[in-house]
Structure 1
Amino acid sequence: MDTEKISSESLILLLAQMHKLRLEHGHDCITGTYPKSPKVERLLAESGFFHTLGVRSRKMPGRKLSATRFVKCKSDVEIRSQCIPELRDELLGEDLQMPKPIGKMVFRALSEAMQNVHHHAYQKKQITRLGLKGRWWLGAQLSKRKNFFELTFYDAGVGIPKTLHRKYPLEHIRSILSLLPGMEPDDAQMIKAAVELGRSRTNQSHRGKGLLDIHRLITTVGVGALTIFSRYGQYRYEPLKGGEAIRNDGAFIEGTLIKWELPLDKVVAAFADMDETDDEDL
């Protein structure tokens, strides 16, 4: 009731946890009240939070047109053929008005993220117990005043530190992290290793192109940020603040949450200095 502000990553994580419980136990298992703050209620309504949970949005008196435009929160269990065009239209459409080269990169990144969830994120017992079937959640917003874009993508699977063990030998992971033999990498280090392995894989083949497009875009133009939360680990890449940083928190996050942040005016200015060849290479 006293909440006055919700970050984009908190919004998608709260949505996913409530949605999971409703899917597992029925819609009546969680009830609630509308926020006391009109600003927070407007955010939940405009972002698609209420709609995803099947909660009716109230008509608010004196409603103002928000300076933020949203790609409505979405959740699905598979990569449906109509889902991708819908996302692309919202990213490039008149409402959001994102520059097309950037929108296409975000679109590719989302496609790759969905593929990863479908193939790697969930264990069979999770799918059976919760009926998740590879479910993911996403939301995006563009601040028209600040020209700042944020996208969050979440799955409630086993998390990067667990899936990486299955895909690569521990010795290989240690070598990527320059760890001494016998040292066990923590969750934050495992996320960093996943980024490094994904980057090297992208350079070797077409696989992985998309998910790390935003990382490469941020590297090229020198602005923006990529943050990954999984289990107890957090990885953040932000060139303007020293590049990569990792840490382990006391709070546990089930699965993996990815957040991309792009100041569009600076990205567009950087694109103007690149030729078409550079653009295609990103």
Structure 2
Amino acid sequence: MRKLDKTRRRWFALRSHNEERRRHRIPKPSDWGPIKRPSTVRRIAYRVQIWEGGEVEWAISATAGRKPPSPLCFDENPNDTYRFFAGLREGFQRAIGTNAGFVHRPQAALPRISTYYDFGQLSDISTAASIVLAAEYQRISTLIGVVPPTVNLNKWNPQVYAKLTQLGFFEILGIEKKVRPVVSDSGKTRTMRIVRAQNLDALEDIDQALTQLGLFLDPTDNLSENVFVQFLTGLSEAITNVIHHAYADGMEIPDKHINSLWVTATADRLDNSLTVVVYDQGATIPVTYPKVERLEKVRGYLERAIRRRVEQAFHRPSSSHPFEDDPIYIRAAMRYGGSRTDQRHRGLGLPQMFEALTRIGEGNLSIFSRGGWCKRTHNGRFTSGALSSSIGGTLVEWSVRLPQQGRTP
């Protein structure tokens, strides 16, 4: 055995010192590389089931599923629902920008996904939230040709799955090939599946479907002869304005869009109610409304409302945020209407829809646009507010409960 002389002892001491330093060193990202990682970093993989329209497959997710708020509803849970859709839209926009897919399929290994939304934790979803969710998925499907896979469908709430199926959500994703009729029957409820419209050709199909729902609630046709025609006229006007103006050149639209709007509706005989929802991803009311020359009474209303809001914010400066004026413009649109051309025979869609409510006597008209919301009941009462996130477009929900007379069991 070789004798340890002074030089060799010094060499062993120096090596021991360097090894101790390396053990306590914080590794830099450049040291990790694509495969090699420090032994102190523990990676956890999650085994999930994915469905893309064919057979259900096992896959590996790099992260645990993100849980959406429950219920997913703009009325019952507005702040969390707005934030959820803002995050979903941001993630989808990144995927659109990189044109990347969602499932990686290595050879001789399980498919891989980076993350997913755990809809198995969702107890309830409203019709309004469903149409926004469908629109986001259809946008990414149209722009890059793929959508995120459906994950752990076996753990979904049966009511959530049934509702999305009835609305045609999985057809929009392209993973269910069966094309359902526009209006589907489910006992005491009839539902108009989500219809995507890019031009005025779709209006005829929408009108026919809504007329079927009206007759389902009122077979005597009294509804159609009186207020329903007025409502359809107002809705058609509102849809026409969206088709012509929501995606017009020069409008500020932060996200890539597919120049579309989506419509769905539900008729329920249990409470004799009808709900119609329209959503678009174009320029919102708070963006377009201030840019158009208005009648004197409209300008006066806007000036007074904004001045009052500024005076209130002066006493509560901590409450201000980017969308604080949004409810003012939504209120004005509901009260006075008005298209971008400001022609007197145009832009009356929202007031006409509200007028139909007043004639029926029970219901409300709700609008969510960018970061603001406003609800007007049949008696004319307004409630409104602003949130810290954007809905990514404009959502109109018209809900009415019909009188019992003329109804058949």
Instruction: Please tell me the TM-score bracket, short chain as reference.
Output: 0.7 to 0.9
Equivalents in 2 of 1:180, 1:9: separation in Å?
A: 29
In the TM superposition, residue 65 of structure 1 has moved relative to its aligned partner by 3.8
Between structures 1 and 2, the one with greater strand share: 1
The match for 1:254 is: 392
1:150 and 1:262 in contact (8 A); partners too? yes
In structure 1, how many angstroms separate the alpha carbons of the residues matched to 2:186 and 2:305?
Answer: 52
Residue among 185, 191, 194 paired with 2:330: 191
> 1:164-188: CA deviations, max 9, x gaps?
1221369975511324769777001
Matched residue of 1:175: which SS?
helix
Provide the residue aligned with 2:281 in structure 1: 156
- Compute the displacement of 1:247 (Å): 0.7
Aligned mates of 1:94, 1:147 — CA distance in 2: 11
1:66 CA displacement: 4.4
- Equivalent runs, 1:33-48 vs 2, <5 Å: 33=151, 34=153, 36-48=156-168
CA contact (8 A) 2:261 2:280 kept: yes
Query: Does structure 1 conserve the Cα–Cα contact (< 8 Å) formed by 2:195 and 2:206?
Result: no
Task: Give me the whole-angstrom Cα distance separating, in 2, the residues matched to 1:89 and 1:180.
Answer: 41
* Residue 148 (structure 2) pairs with residue 30 (structure 1): yes
Alignment-derived partner of residue 375 in structure 2: 236
Task: Tell me if the contact between 2:360 and 2:402 (Cα under 8 Å) persists in the aligned partners.
Answer: no
Q: Residue by residue, what CA displacement relative to the aligned partner does 1:76-96 show, whole Å, maximum 9, x if unpaired?
A: 21111xx23322222222796
2:301 is the counterpart of 1:176: yes
Paired amino acid for 1:79: L
Q: Is the 8 A contact 2:366 2:375 kept in 1?
A: yes
| 1:75 equivalenced with 2:169 (yes/no) | no
Q: Secondary structure at the match of 2:371?
A: strand
Deviation at 1:12, TM superposition (A): 0.8
Question: Does the CA contact (< 8 Å) of 1:105 and 1:210 recur in 2?
Answer: no
Number of matched pairs: 256
Tell me the secondary structure at the aligned position of residue 107 of structure 1.
helix
Alignment deviations for residues 102-131 of structure 1 (CA, whole Å, 9 cap, x no partner): 44233223311221112221243789x835
Q: Deviations over 1:171-209 (max 9, x none)?
A: 97551132476977700111112223318xxxx943234
Question: Who is 2:176 aligned against?
Answer: 56
CA contact (8 A) 1:224 1:262 kept: yes
Letter in 2 for 1:74: V
**Distance verdict in 2 for CA 1:217–1:182, change over 3 Å:** closer
Which residue of structure 2 lines up, in the alignment, with residue 275 of structure 1?
none
Q: If the length of structure 1 is used for normalisation, what is the TM-score?
A: 0.78
- Cα pair distance change 1:148/1:24, threshold 3 Å: same
- Does the CA contact (< 8 Å) of 2:306 and 2:325 recur in 1? no
After the TM superposition, which residues 190-209 of structure 1 pair with which residues of structure 2 at under 5 Å, given as runs? 190-198=329-337, 205-209=344-348
Larger Rg: 2
Q: Name the structure 2 match of 1:92.
A: 211
Which residue identity is paired with 1:55?
A: I
TM-score when normalising by structure 2: 0.55
Q: Percent same amino acid at aligned positions?
A: 28
Alpha carbons of structure 1 residues 5 and 113: separation in structure 2 relative to 1, 3 Å: same
Superposition CA RMSD, Å? 3.4
Q: Secondary structure of the equivalent of 1:254? A: coil
After superposing the two structures, state which structure 1 stretch, 94-103 or 15-24, moved more. 94-103
Q: Which residue of 2 aligns with 1:19?
A: 138
| 1:129-155 CA distance string (max 9 Å, x none) | 83523x101110011211111111011
Q: Pick one of 243, 249, 252 that aligns with 1:118.
A: 243
Q: Which amino acid aligns with 2:256?
A: L
Cα distance in 1 for partners of 2:355, 2:246 equals 23
Q: Is the 8 A contact 1:47 1:71 kept in 2?
A: yes
2:257·2:281 contact (CA, 8 Å) conserved in 1? no
Distance 1:110-1:53 versus aligned 2 partners, 3 A rule: farther
**Contact map agreement 1:141 1:151 (CA 8 A) in 2:** yes
Unaligned runs of 5+ in 2: 1-119, 179-184, 218-222, 311-323
1:132 corresponds, among 244, 258, 262, to 258
Bigger helix share: 1
CA contact (8 A) 2:370 2:394 kept: yes
Secondary structure at 1:252 match in 2: coil
| Structure 1: tracts of 5 or more residues without a match | 59-63, 270-282
For 1:236 and 1:251, the matched residues in 2 are separated by 18
The equivalent residue for 1:61 is none
Q: Which has the higher contact order (CA 8 A, sep 6+)?
A: 1
